[in-house]
């Protein structure tokens, strides 16, 4: 008998159907991947198992956990199950921990409540558990607070809390989506080890087929609250019987068609010239008498970019790549060095003198939800950079330009009077690109432009970037930790580590034969769908 | 190609009123507030009796059909006085809120936009003003400039400034790091322009909620000042003044104090309910996700 057995689970919230008959099983020691795009019902399935549904939700069907029917179990029984037999790991490690309690207290808390252990015994177990997840006491005392840890370390604490009582089932909802690829590989490794040690069942929810292919024995594909198909990972991902699964797999591996780079470069003078740029941030004083050395986020970076090129700046989170991008965009002053864009000085000039430079460079941000003022219409939002033009266009001309920019990114003129919330994530990212394009810039800086999007939408946006590059000839600086994006859409790549550029070269070459340690770590850690499937079929992975 | 379904997220402006109308506290607050406002408006054109007309023969009457709330020591109709008093209370509170918003919001936004020393200095000055109890600073001002409705308004308005400055600054600080502000800066817009176009519209709902609360406090403060004889001066009628006059006759005619007291309590209650309801409707964290 399976450990977790979901049969015909239906869920409606305030009368809107969310899940339409989900069947899913997880056995002891088994890893089951639950795959699907945003809104497919992955998280709601997990929350139904935990019975942590939002108010107004009505669930029917059967969720059996080791013979207990979860949907009809009394509250007290559920409290005993939570943490003891079923553990859960959430996506966002930054908010999953209580900031005012030490990590030792937070791990010990569940142990004490469920086993009635005294403080000392519970602390002992917490210590062992934290050591198991890679936070040994010598380096990470139990008295640390969450804010003293990095994102990956916090996620380890979350896993330690979830696994402290050796649960028989662990539900991990996008456990690595907020982490960079290197940390992601470490966390996945840890989860794999815990499953093997305790014969724990793992329900791994992810939108990333690469991650699931590497981890899961079986996968279940969800779409619009229903199961599309379910079965052995290797079988599902090689046979691709269902069109939807095929679409997902193709979108994951999608590479936009692009003309060769050489054909697109005509001008010889560099577009962007970065010379010895550094950025220091002051560090909080710990003593009244000595000022601590500032933190150097970007350390003596120099590079130049030709017109029309597409360049990736890759690196782990916190390596300084976003800081560098903001300095290029003149949103943050540089501590040292100079930046020139098409011959104009960008560094050390007041805002008023930057208008010409700003016209030539625009920005696309990561979060399609946060990058628009929710209280303005699309027309005003997309037209915002027109403020930079020497001669302000009239109302009709302005509308005409917005229509054209929207058409450029595949949106229609009727979208002009809508508000941002009326668009989906992918459409908002198109709006973001339209806003960046409207002044016909020579350079677009895109900070993780697709990492918040579903795979199929990501493929469409990458296509759009490639198309605009070919048609309008604007250069891109892509900032990303995702090598598949770099591989898909850039000519050159620069690898950044601890504020320095440690490697640069043609994208294909650097990713195939990384020379520096930082680049090797990134390449090795990147989830690889093809490789994982091949390994599964060859039986090389356990 | 796959079709992406837009995620439905409750829209702030359009759904706010709809949501608010489902909240019982908002509806109750709205009804009470509208009633008081209607009473004040009607008093401009009609009151049951002329309150400048003193009929000493009718003094200190109890409740009757002719005088539902009784009469005071000059024989004036209490219901008429309460109606006219409403208009003074509301006027004082509105002007005081406008003074507080008009000075406090720009100050708070300026502090948030500039940061550093200016922010620090403005907020410390704010703290100093804040440190004086409202009534005490009002006492000081009326003691210097003499009692009267205008001075009461100024005193209450000054007390409102740091409140709005703080709310505006806190709200603005939470908006500044958003990506759409970065995008606006990349579009070459200056801080003043960004504040006007992006910051103020996005903190307007917070300011509105604070406005209703300060309005209620303003009515209380006006009543307090008038009660101490520092606000409205006779023959001007105000609820606080009525309480002051009723004080010495409490034992004989408790209704003289009862009705103005009730009017104050009801107005403040109504405005607070209104503010709470608005806050629930406008704050997405308190709103149930669909």
User: A332 in contact with B at a CB cutoff of 8 Å?
Assistant: no
Q: Which of A251, A367, A388 sits opposite B188 (nearest CB)?
A: A388
Beta bridge partners of A17: A12
Strands A16-26 vs A4-13: parallel, antiparallel or unpaired: antiparallel
Model confidence over A299-332: pLDDT tens digits?
Answer: 999 999 998 899 999 988 888 888 899 999 998 8
Q: What percent of chain A has pLDDT over 70?
A: 97
Q: Is A456 in Cβ contact with B6 (below 8 Å)? A: no
Q: What is the chain A residue with the closest CA to B198?
A: A373
Which residue out of B16, B186, B192, B284 would a mutagenesis test of the A interface target, given it has the greatest number of A Cβ atoms within 10 Å? B186
Interface contact B4-A373, CB threshold 8 A = no
* pLDDT in the model for residue A450: 85
What dihedral angle (degrees, nearest 10) is formed by the CA atoms of B25, B28, B32, B37? 80
Residue B13 has which token pair?
A: 């402006």
Q: CA B256 to CA A377: how far, in whole Å?
A: 55
**A237 and A275 part of one domain:** no
Report the CATH number at residue B85. Answer: 1.10.3720.10
pLDDT range class, residue B179, cuts 50, 70, 90: confident
Backbone dihedral angles phi then psi of residue A339, each to the nearest 5 degrees? -125, 130
Residue A539 inside a domain? The answer is no
B23-79 pLDDT, tens digit per residue, is: 788 889 899 989 988 988 888 888 777 777 777 777 777 777 777 777 777 778 888
Same domain for A195 and A55? yes
The pLDDT value given to residue A382: 92
**A226 and A316 fall within a common domain:** no
> A410-449: per-residue pLDDT in tens?
888 888 888 888 888 888 888 999 999 898 899 999 988 8
Q: Are A231 and A179 contained in the same domain? A: yes
The two tokens of residue A481 are 């930790």
Q: Are residues A234 and A277 in the same domain?
A: no
Looking at the domain assignment, is residue B138 inside a domain?
Answer: yes
The tens digit of pLDDT for each residue in A80-106 reads 888 788 988 887 777 888 888 899 999
B288–A contact, CB cutoff 8 A: yes
Q: Where are the beta strands (DSSP E) in A384-519?
A: 443-447, 475-480, 492-497, 500-506
Higher pLDDT, B63 or A34: A34
Structure confidence at residue A67 as a pLDDT band (50, 70, 90): confident
Residue A529: CATH number of its domain: 3.40.50.300
Q: Is residue A63 part of a domain?
A: yes
Contact B9 A421 (CB under 8 A): yes
Within-domain flag for B108 = yes
Residue at B48 is within a domain: no
Q: What is the mean pLDDT of chain B?
A: 81
Residues A222 and A298 in one domain: no
Chain A within 8 Å of B116 (Cβ-Cβ)? no
Residue A388 and residue A477 in one domain: yes
Same domain, A313 and A225: no
> Domain containing A339: what range?
271-281+293-533
> Domain total for chain A?
2
- Window 169-188 of B: residues touching A by CB (8 A cutoff) are 178-180, 182-188
Q: Is A9 in contact with A59 (CB distance < 8 Å)?
A: yes
- pLDDT band of residue A269 (cuts 50, 70, 90) is confident
Which residues on chain A are in Cβ contact (under 8 Å) with B174? none
CB contact under 8 A, B201 and A457: no
Q: Give the chain B residue nearest A372 (alpha carbons).
A: B180
Q: Which residues of A touch B206 (CB under 8 A)?
A: none
B8: pLDDT confidence band, cut at 50, 70 and 90? very low
A472 within a domain of the structure (yes/no): yes
Q: Does B198 touch chain A (CB under 8 A)?
A: yes
- Any domain includes B57: no
Inter-chain touch A331–B290, beta carbons under 8 Å: no
The token pair that represents B183 in the structure block:
């995008």
Q: Mean pLDDT, chain A, as a whole number?
A: 87
Is B204 contained in some domain?
yes
For residue B72, which of B260, B205, B232, B226 has the smallest C-alpha distance? B260
Residue A33 domain flag: yes
Nearest to B188 among A16, A354, A366 (CB): A354
Q: Is residue B1 part of a domain?
A: no
Q: Which residues of chain A from 70 to 89 reach within 8 Å of chain B, CB to CB?
A: none
- Assigned domain for A287 exists: no
Tell me, yes or no, whether A315 and A456 share the same domain: yes
The answer to whether residue A263 sits within a structural domain is no
End-to-end CA distance of chain B: 28
* Nearest residue in chain B measured CA to CA from A245: B2
Residue A258, domain member (yes or no): no
The DSSP result for chain B, as a single string, is -PPPPPP----HHHHHHHHHHH-HHHHHHHHHHHHHHHHHHHHHH--SS-TTS--GGGTT--S-SSSTT-B-TT--BHHHHHHHHHHHHHHHHHHHHHHHHHHHHHHHHHHHHH-HHHHHHHHHHHHHHHHS-HHHHHHHHHHHH-SSHHHHHHHHHHHHHHHHHHHHHHHHHHHTTSHHHHHHHHTT--HHHHIIIIIHHHHHHHHHHHHHHHHHHHHHHHHHHHHTTSSS-TTS--HHHHHHHHHTTTTT-THHHHHHHHHHHHHHHHHHHHHHHHHHHH-TTTSPP-
Examine residue B228 and state whether it is found in any structural domain, yes or no: yes
Q: Do both A456 and A429 map to the same domain? A: yes
Orientation of helix B200-227 relative to helix B149-175, angle to 10° = 150
Which residues in chain B touch residue A351, judged by CB atoms under 8 angstroms apart? 188, 190
Q: Assess if residue A259 is contained within a domain.
A: no
Is the model's pLDDT at A402 over the cut of 90? yes
How many domains, in total, are found in chain B?
1
In angstroms, rounded to a whole number, what is the distance separating the alpha carbons of residues A125 and A462? 48
Contact B188 A358 (CB under 8 A): yes
Residue B14 pLDDT level (bands cut at 50, 70, 90): low
B235 touches chain A (CB under 8 A): no
Q: Which of B12, B183, B201 sits opposite A371 (nearest CB)?
A: B183
Distance (Å, whole) CA B74 – CA B52: 10
pLDDT for B7: 45
Average pLDDT over residues B242-263: 83
Contacts of A382 (CB under 8 A, 6+ apart): A402, A405, A406, A416, A431, A434, A435, A438
Residue A82 and residue A36 share a domain: yes
> What is the C-alpha separation between A355 and A344, in angstroms, rounded?
11
B133 near A CB under 8 A = no
Establish whether the linkage from the previous residue to A147 is cis, with ω within 30° of 0. no
Inform me whether the pLDDT recorded for A272 exceeds 60: yes
Please list every residue in chain A whose beta carbon sits closer than 8 Å to the beta carbon of residue B2.
37, 247, 251, 456-457
Between CA B273 and CA A356 the distance in angstroms is 52
How does DSSP assign A293-337, residue by residue? Answer: PPEEEEEEEEEEE-TT-EEEEE--TTSSHHHHHHHHTTSS--SEE
Q: Please answer yes or no on whether B187 and A384 come within 8 Å at the CB atom.
A: yes
β partners of residue A24: A6
B22–A contact, CB cutoff 8 A: no
CB atoms closer than 10 angstroms to residue B76:
22
**A375/B202 touch (CB, cutoff 8 Å), yes or no:** yes
User: Touching check for A250 and chain B: CB below 8 Å?
Assistant: no
pLDDT at A364: 92
Q: CB–CB of B179 and A370 under 8 A?
A: yes
Number of H helices, E strands in chain A: 19, 20
Residue B289 at interface with chain A, using a CB cutoff of 8 Å: yes
Q: Is B287 on the interface with A (CB under 8 A)?
A: no
Are A11 and A154 members of one domain? Answer: yes
Strand, helix or coil for residue A377? coil
Length of chain B: 290
In a domain, B129, yes or no: yes
Of A191-200, A325-334, B19-28, minimum mean pLDDT range: B19-28
Give residue B32's domain range.
23-43+69-282
């Amino acid at each position: 008998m399976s450990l977790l057995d979901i049969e015909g689970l239906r869920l409606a919230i305030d009368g809107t159907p969310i899940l339409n008959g989900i069947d899913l099983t997880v056995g002891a020691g088994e890893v089951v991947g639950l795959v699907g795009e945003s809104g497919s019902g992955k998280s709601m399935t997990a929350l139904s198992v935990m019975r942590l549904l939002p108010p107004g939700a009505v669930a029917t069907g059967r969720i059996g956990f080791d013979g207990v029917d979860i949907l009809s179990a009394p509250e007290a029984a559920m409290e005993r199950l939570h943490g003891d037999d079923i553990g859960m790991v959430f996506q966002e490690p930054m908010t999953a921990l209580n900031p005012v309690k030490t990590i030792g207290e937070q791990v010990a808390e569940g142990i004490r409540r469920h086993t009635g252990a005294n403080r000392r015994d519970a602390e002992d177990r917490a210590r062992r558990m934290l050591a198991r997840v890679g936070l040994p006491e010598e380096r990470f005392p139990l008295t640390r607070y969450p804010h003293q840890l990095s994102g990956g370390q916090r996620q380890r604490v979350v896993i330690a809390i979830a696994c402290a009582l050796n649960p028989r089932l662990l539900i991990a909802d996008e456990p690595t989506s907020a982490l960079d690829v290197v940390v992601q590989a470490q966390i996945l490794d840890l989860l794999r080890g815990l499953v093997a040690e305790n014969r724990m069942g793992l329900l791994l929810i992810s939108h990333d087929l690469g991650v699931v292919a590497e981890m899961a024995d079986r996968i279940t594909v969800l779409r619009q609250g229903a199961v599309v198909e379910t079965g052995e990972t290797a079988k599902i991902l090689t046979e691709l019987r269902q069109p939807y699964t095929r679409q997902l797999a193709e979108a994951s591996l999608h590479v936009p068609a692009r003309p060769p780079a050489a054909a697109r470069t005509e001008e010889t003078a560099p577009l962007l010239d970065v010379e010895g740029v550094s950025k220091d941030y002051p560090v909080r004083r710990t003593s009244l008498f000595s000022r601590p050395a500032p933190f150097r986020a970007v350390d003596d970076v120099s590079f130049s970019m030709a017109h029309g090129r597409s360049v990736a700046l890759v690196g782990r989170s916190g390596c300084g790549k976003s800081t560098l991008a903001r300095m290029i965009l003149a949103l943050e002053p540089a501590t040292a060095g100079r930046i020139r864009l098409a011959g104009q000085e960008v560094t050390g000039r007041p805002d008023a003198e930057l208008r010409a430079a700003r016209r030539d460079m625009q920005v696309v941000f990561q979060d399609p939800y946060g990058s628009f003022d929710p209280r303005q219409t699309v027309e005003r939002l997309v037209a915002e950079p027109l403020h930079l033009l020497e001669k302000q266009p009239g109302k009709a001309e302005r509308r005409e330009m917005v229509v054209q920019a929207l058409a450029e990114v595949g949106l229609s003129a009727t979208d002009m009077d809508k508000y941002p919330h009326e668009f989906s994530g992918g459409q908002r990212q198109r709006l973001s690109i339209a806003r960046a394009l409207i002044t016909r810039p020579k350079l677009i800086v895109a900070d993780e432009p697709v990492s918040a999007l579903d795979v199929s939408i990501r493929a469409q946006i990458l296509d759009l970037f490639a198309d605009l590059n070919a048609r309008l000839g604007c250069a891109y600086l892509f900032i990303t930790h995702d090598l598949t994006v770099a591989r898909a859409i850039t000519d050159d790549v620069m690898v950044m580590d601890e504020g320095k550029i440690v490697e640069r070269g043609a994208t294909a070459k650097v990713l195939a034969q990384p020379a520096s340690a930082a680049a090797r770590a990134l390449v090795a850690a990147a989830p690889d769908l093809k490789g994982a499937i091949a390994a599964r079929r060859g039986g090389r992975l356990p | 190609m796959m079709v992406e379904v837009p995620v439905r997220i409750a829209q702030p402006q359009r759904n706010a009123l709809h949501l608010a109308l489902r909240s019982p506290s908002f509806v109750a607050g709205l009804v009470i507030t509208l009633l008081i406002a209607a009473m004040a408006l009607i008093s401009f054109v009609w009151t049951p009796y002329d309150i400048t007309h003193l009929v000493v023969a009718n003094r200190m009457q109890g409740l009757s059909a002719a005088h539902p709330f009784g009469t005071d020591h000059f024989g004036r109709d209490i219901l008429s006085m309460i109606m006219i008093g409403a208009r003074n209370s509301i006027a004082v509170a509105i002007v005081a809120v406008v003074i507080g918003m008009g000075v406090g919001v720009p100050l708070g936004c300026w502090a948030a936009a500039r940061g550093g020393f200016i922010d620090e200095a403005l907020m410390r000055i704010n703290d100093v003003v804040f440190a004086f109890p409202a009534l005490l600073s009002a006492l000081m001002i009326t003691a210097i400039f003499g009692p009267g409705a205008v001075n009461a308004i100024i005193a209450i308005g000054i007390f409102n400034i740091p409140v709005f400055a703080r709310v505006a600054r806190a709200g603005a600080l939470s908006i500044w790091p958003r990506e759409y502000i970065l995008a606006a800066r990349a579009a070459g817009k200056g801080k003043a322009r960004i504040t006007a176009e992006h910051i103020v519209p996005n903190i307007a709902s917070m300011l509105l909620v604070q406005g209703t609360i300060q309005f209620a406090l303003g009515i209380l403060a006006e009543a307090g000042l008038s009660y101490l004889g520092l606000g409205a001066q006779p023959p001007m009628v105000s609820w606080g003044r009525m309480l002051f006059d009723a004080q010495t006759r409490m034992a004989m005619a408790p209704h003289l104090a009862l009705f103005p007291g009730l009017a104050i309590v009801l107005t403040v209650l109504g405005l607070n309910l209104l503010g709470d309801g608005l806050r629930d409707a406008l704050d997405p964290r308190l709103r149930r996700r669909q």
